[in-house]
Amino acid sequence: MKNLTEGNEGSLIFRFALPMLLGNVFMQIYSIVDSIVVGQFIGKEALAAVGASFPLIFALVSFVIGIGMGFSIAISQYFGARDFDRVARAIDTMWIFLAVSSVLLTGIGLLFSEKLLILIDIPNEVMPQAVSYLNINIIGFVVMFGYNGAAAVLRGLGDSKTPLYFLIISTFINIGLDLLFVLVLNMGVEGTAWATVIAQAGAFLSMAVYLNKTHKIIRINFRKYVFDKEIFLKSLNIGLPTGFQQTFVSFGMVALLSIVNQFGTVAVAAYTVATRIDSFASMPAMNFAAALSTFVGQNLGAGKHERVRTGLIATLKMTSIISIVVTLTAVFFSDMMMRLFTSDPEIVSIGSDYLLIVSSFYLFFSTMFIISGVMRGAGDTLVPMFITLLSLWLVRIPVSWGLSRVIGIHGVWWGIPVAWFLGMVGAWLYYKTGKWKSKVIVKNQQEKS
């Protein structure tokens, strides 16, 4: 458990974010390896099936994951205030919520998976493989939520290293199983899905054993858990807007995919590969924002408001430098990166154009996420939700749809940076009002006296 209320702000945030960033790099390797194996050894239809399934998977789990963030913020604030009894009860309540939610979502997902794929107009030749890939991943929701829940708790307590160690092991298991199931056992796209589910199950179960042996406060034992209604409602109050925001983002991804689907299987395959590469570029901002949220939560819980602004400035400097480096890399090596996944020249060309357009504006994306991270750490998640809703549904989707009718597939790509810019401006304007400071759920003793 790491105390983020003392010491150099930039150094603390960097050291806390780095293991999360590395962890997410390995997590993305799950999908990267799937896509490389599928693209190189199965075919473009299978590659499109993987890409078509991902936004739907995210749409199914995003709401629960967003609410889970509310628990993580509550845990970090209670920990900052040194209220360990409420820390333990918040963790118990979160586990109960995730267990029930994962079972319900698995049933709903399996029941409606094919209907959802039909709804977004998946090309006919892609449909059979997409249904199989999606259903297998849905079966793995329970272990996915289990691992993410344990990682969120540890991050709320200031430990971002432990989840990384288990994720590294899981990633290598996934790679080995991918090669075994596809190249040796000829299981096709289903093999890559099972490889991911089995690897995630290994990560969660091994982490559960570790936590039960080393952490009294985070032990996974449902027979002894206590559901705290008050903490649940407070966490829900924080997490519900984030859950809606995640849902809006996920449905936005589905809507964007439905526009891409109209350009055929090759376009879907190119979009699949390009967004896999794009996901790496977005990770630094997302992970530094998550680290900043925990930092803000602990410091506001401890009554150290002056450290929040210093932490924000330090984080913006770090992510701006990273964004510029990532942009240059994407611009100069887009073709090379696309060819790791496929040798099809049409797919490479369309995907490279996506990277050239979108990567030029990563600085907007990172700034938007970092500023929103401050507000989430304070427990103010409602306004970031509305900012996301407006920039996505009133800007990105209409602009992408409209421009695609004029300049083709490139128009879909241009809608993305336009939405990032407006989202960044909205987040900054709200941050400057200072209203987010009033949302803290823990009142420090110095403030009470």
Whether 11 contacts 3, CB under 8 Å: no
**What letter does residue 412 receive in the DSSP assignment?**
H
Q: How confident is the model at residue 349 (pLDDT cuts 50, 70, 90)?
A: very high
* Domain extent listing, the chain: 9-448
Is 427 a residue whose pLDDT tops 50?
yes
Is 20 a residue whose pLDDT tops 50?
yes
Taking residues 49-78, report their average pLDDT. 78
Whether 273 contacts 338, CB under 8 Å: yes
Q: What is the pLDDT of residues 237-269, one digit of tens each?
A: 877 777 777 777 777 777 888 888 888 888 888
Q: Which amino acid is at 103?
A: V
Q: How confident is the model at residue 221 (pLDDT cuts 50, 70, 90)?
A: low
> Is the pTM above the cut of 0.75?
no
Question: What does the pLDDT read at residue 401?
Answer: 93
Among candidate residues 115, 113, 25, 68, the one with its CA nearest the CA of residue 293: 68
Question: What does the pLDDT read at residue 135?
Answer: 93
**What is the share, in percent, of the chain residues with pLDDT greater than 70?**
93
Question: What does the pLDDT read at residue 381?
Answer: 73
Q: Which amino acid is at 233?
A: L
Comparison of pLDDT for 259 and 226, the residue scoring more: 259
Q: What is the pLDDT of residues 112-166, one digit of tens each?
A: 888 888 887 777 888 888 899 899 999 999 888 888 888 777 776 777 677 778 8
Question: What does the pLDDT read at residue 1?
Answer: 55
> Which whole-number Å values give the CA distances from 81 to 263, 299, 416, 446, in the listed order?
54, 9, 40, 11
Question: What does the pLDDT read at residue 234?
Answer: 83
**Averaged pLDDT of the chain:** 83
141-173 per-residue burial string, b: 16 or more CB within 10 A, e: under 16: bbbbbbbbbbbbbbbbbbbbbbbbebbbbbbeb
Tokens standing for 105?
Answer: 């979502």
How many other β-carbons are positioned within 10 Å of the β-carbon of residue 16?
23
Alpha-carbon torsion angle 416, 393, 283, 314, nearest 10: 90
Is 403 a residue whose pLDDT tops 80?
yes
Q: Is 360 helix (H, G, I), strand (E, B) or coil?
A: coil
Dist. CA 420–CA 285, nearest whole Å: 13
Directed axis angle between helix 229-261 and helix 265-301, to 10°? 160
Question: What does the pLDDT read at residue 198?
Answer: 93
Instruction: Give the least confident one: 68-72, 348-352, 417-421.
Output: 68-72
Among candidate residues 348, 345, 347, the one with its CA nearest the CA of residue 335: 348
Taking residues 58-76, report their average pLDDT. 79
Residue 227 Ramachandran class (φ > 0 left, ψ -120 to 50 alpha, else beta):
beta
Question: What does the pLDDT read at residue 446?
Answer: 42
CB-neighbour burial class of residue 138 (10 A; exposed 0-12, middle 13-18, buried 19+): buried
Q: What is the pLDDT of residues 177-191, one digit of tens each?
A: 988 998 899 898 899
Between CA 414 and CA 377, with CA 417 as vertex, the angle to 5 degrees is 155
Question: What does the pLDDT read at residue 352?
Answer: 92
Q: Could you give phi then psi for residue 247, rounded to 5 degrees?
A: -65, -40
Q: What is the pLDDT of residues 274-322, one digit of tens each?
A: 887 887 777 888 888 888 888 888 888 777 888 888 899 999 999 999 8
